[in-house]
Structure 1
Amino acid sequence: MRSMNVAERRARLGARHRLSPRARTDDVLDIARSMVVLHATDPATVFLSVAARSVAAVPEALERALYDDRTLLRMLAMRRTMFVAPVELVPVLQASTANSLAAKQRATYARIIERGSDIPDVPAWFAAVEKAAHEALLARGEATGAQLSADEPRLRTRVDPAPGKSYSRPTNVTTWILVTLGCEGLVVRGRPNGSWTSSQYKWSPIEAWLPGGIEEVPAAAARAELVRRWLRAFGPAPVSDLKWWTGWNAGDVKKALALLDVTEVDLGGATGLALSDDLEPEPAPGPWAALLPALDPTPMGWQERGWFLGDHGPRLFDRNGNIGPSVWWDGRIVGGWGQRKDGEIAVRVLEDVGADAGAAIEREAARMAAWYGDVRAIPRFRTPLERELTS
């Protein structure tokens, strides 16, 4: 069995995730492809993830790819997480994950509406409102949720999500309908109302990105293709990491792997999988430093992170498993960082990394400060060290 030690895995990470200087690029589409998808639960994460992997790209370059060239697209996919994906991958994400997610979302929202309203036939009502909202968006071409609810009054229907509970707050169904339409591949989150840190998006029909709509792909083939891309970027890794990242059940993961040519790899106490044509050692990329944002796709690409995280987890993760801003040196996490109110990038290294590493980390902090410019952004999920550095 091929063996791969931690040093080899870290070398792959630096090169394939475009974090070492020689692997960086200003092609934001290429950056997204390198990571399979970019995490976008926090809007700022997408931009800061690109910043960490580019040489001289600016926020406008990513905005151009998202909203003008439309080579990238936002969508809910694995683990009901928001991602920015290359448009050519959208049919794969839709068939492998989003279609089943749409069914789950519709069922979840229907149960809430049945519990908190007097609508007699909720499934039929939900489908009718979906159709009307979609038609209203097609007529407008682009709209906010408020504009669509003005066109379709049923979107303003208010529901009590937890009847009889003191914490319950009645809410209208606009977002639920639009989120479900998004999972179905009919609508897309477009340009935000504000800066690149804003999460208040306008909505557009999918045809604005993909003129013919999303191509239908067999679900099994789509799952195999997504696994292939993940293994190229994150492998070798245990099957448990793959199952966690996709959010699929064990049966779907096993079936997807059966369609690929994979090889077991000894990871030193654990067995991982790699594509059989991807077993050659990765040339060492040389020492590198990076400041990755909260929820960056690199640390969020594996469930088992001990080989690059060490014992820093309690200070860098929140209680739900979300990572905050992290400082990296040569393939491992060595600290954390945060942006203070005055714009300063505050860094704390949690272990002795030496003078050369310290200087490289300072240069990365200056680069990140330049990306922020006048923008101030608080991570959506706060972690202990980030709070401490920015208090």
Structure 2
Amino acid sequence: MTSAISLRALNRATLERQLLLRRHPMPALQAVEHLVGLQAQAPFPPYFGLWCRLSGFDPDHLSQLLLERQAVRIVLMRGTVHLVSADDCLFLRPLMQPLLTRYLQSAYGTRLAGVTPEEVLAAGEELLAAGPVTAAALGTALAERFPAAKAADLAQIMRSLAALVQVPPRAVWGKAGQTRYATAQEWIGRALHTDPSPELLVRRYLAAFGPASVADMQAWSGLTGLREIVERLRPQLVTLTGPSGTELFDLPGAPRPGGDVPAPVRLLAPFDNLLLSHADRTRVITDAQRKRVITINGQVLGTVLVDGFVAGTWKRDKGVLTVELDDSQPSAVVEEIEAEARSLLAFAEPKAAHEIRGLA
């Protein structure tokens, strides 16, 4: 039997899966795996993504995971960079490879005449076996072997077809560094999964983002053809009717706390997974807000959640955090936003003078 779920109940269920109804005393690696990674187009948003989800989160814990090769940054879902555990890197990358191969063929196919991608891949992996290199250096080295192709195009073949991780000091808290690449197999010291389960991928997505439609799953992953996978899983899933009449799927026993459960103010990181992982994102953000939060050049602003829904944006610059709310809020809510903002600044810049703007 299919039951209906209201917009507020769908919102609260999603926030619960996203660890946003309360801060959790969870190790950073466990949280990264539960969330099936964190969007990491820029080096440091994952730190803020964990800060707003975990109690007592220390950025050095995530840095150490990167340095110890327990976590990596790699192109995965939607062809974008994610920070994931080493185990999930080996599991997820083969599942996402068809998406990346299609992208290479559509965007670069006509520019690679006379170059066999398989030959470039083999040559690139041989070069990378000597140690991490930048994309520019890799492309230049490959151009010496394949002079008919441009160095940048050869580097793109490698980024699309090889499982390349971005290695430290890139994305280590408080550090800076060029983007250098190594193969996941060399860096982690283990092989990619040879037969990863798409059924497990769907179940893990639902655990972190459900209830969700097939379109939601495909929007999150960038993959097509998931309807067949879901149909195979249907006997093991709960079906719900969403606020717009869409069929949603969920795991039996997964938390759906109800729309009357309080949701605290949260300052979501730029590029936060919550805003990027559904086809229909009205469970947390309106279509009008989405146009302001996700910019035309692909940036995703930090957002303010009030009562579980996006209510504005925030930006931080040298100890100053500026909040821009969409509408006026009650004084108690403003005080809660200010407290979260001060907590964020204390986390990000503990030694700087702090100022909150936009709430007066």
Alpha-carbon distance between aligned partners in 2 of 1:195 and 1:375, rounded to the nearest angstrom: 19
Does structure 1 retain, via aligned residues, the 8 Å contact 2:5–2:241?
yes
Shift of 1:234: 1.5
Q: 1:165: which partner in 2?
A: none
CA distance 1:200–1:111, change in 2 (3 Å): farther
Question: Who is 2:17 aligned against?
Answer: 16
Where 1:74 maps in the other structure, the secondary structure is strand
> Which residue matches 1:240?
215
8 Å CA contact 2:40, 2:46 repeated in 1:
yes
User: Matches of residues 1-391 of structure 1 in structure 2 within 5 Å?
Assistant: 1-21=2-22, 23-25=23-25, 27-68=27-68, 70-102=69-101, 104-105=103-104, 108-114=107-113, 121-123=114-116, 126-138=117-129, 140-145=130-135, 148=138, 154=144, 172-173=152-153, 175-180=155-160, 183-185=161-163, 187-193=164-170, 196=173, 200-217=178-195, 222-249=197-224, 252-260=225-233, 261-278=236-253, 281-282=256-257, 286-310=262-286, 311-319=288-296, 323-340=300-317, 342-373=318-349
Deviation at 1:338, TM superposition (A): 0.7
Letter in 2 for 1:349: L
CA positional deviation for 1:361: 1.2
Residues 40 and 84, structure 1, Cα contact 8 Å, conserved in 2: yes
After superposition, give the CA deviation of every residue in 1:178-200 in whole Å (9 maximum; x if it has no partner): 313xx433x42211458658573
Could you state the TM-score of these two structures normalised by the residue count of structure 1?
0.77
After alignment, is 317-326 or 44-53 more displaced? 317-326
Structure 2 vs 1, CA of residues 152 and 304 (structure 1 numbering), >3 Å: closer, same or farther?
closer
Relative to structure 1, the CA distance from residue 280 to residue 15 in structure 2 (aligned partners, 3 Å threshold; closer, same or farther) is closer
Segments of 5+ residues of structure 2 without an aligned counterpart are none
Q: Classify 1:98/1:192 alpha carbon distance in 2 versus 1 (closer, same or farther; 3 Å).
A: farther
What is residue 385 of structure 1 aligned with on the other side?
Answer: none
Deviation of the 1:375 alpha carbon: 11
Cα deviations across residues 247-281 of structure 1 (Å, max 9, x unaligned)?
A: 222xx211110232223212233223223513663
How much does 1:294 deviate?
Answer: 2.1
CA displacement at 1:216 relative to structure 2: 0.8
Superposition CA RMSD, Å: 3.2
Q: Give unmatched runs, 5+ long, in structure 1.
A: 115-120, 161-170, 377-387
Q: Aligned AA for 1:232? A: A
Distance 1:279 1:210, change over 3 A: closer
Contact 1:38 1:296 in 2 (8 A): yes
TM-score after normalising by structure 2: 0.83
Letter in 2 for 1:295: F
Contact 2:214 2:230 in 1 (8 A): no
Whether the aligned pair in 1 keeps the contact of 2:305 and 2:312 (CA below 8 Å) is yes
Using the alignment, how far apart are the partners of 1:299 and 1:194 within structure 2?
A: 22
Does the 8 Å contact 2:49/2:268 carry over to 1? yes
Output the CA distance in 2 between the equivalents of 1:189 and 1:54: 25
CA contact (8 A) 1:39 1:82 kept: yes
Q: Which amino acid aligns with 1:217?
A: D
Identify if the C-alpha distance between structure 1 residues 191 and 375 changes in structure 2 by more than 3 Å, giving closer, same or farther.
farther
Per-residue deviation at 1:153?
Answer: 5.7
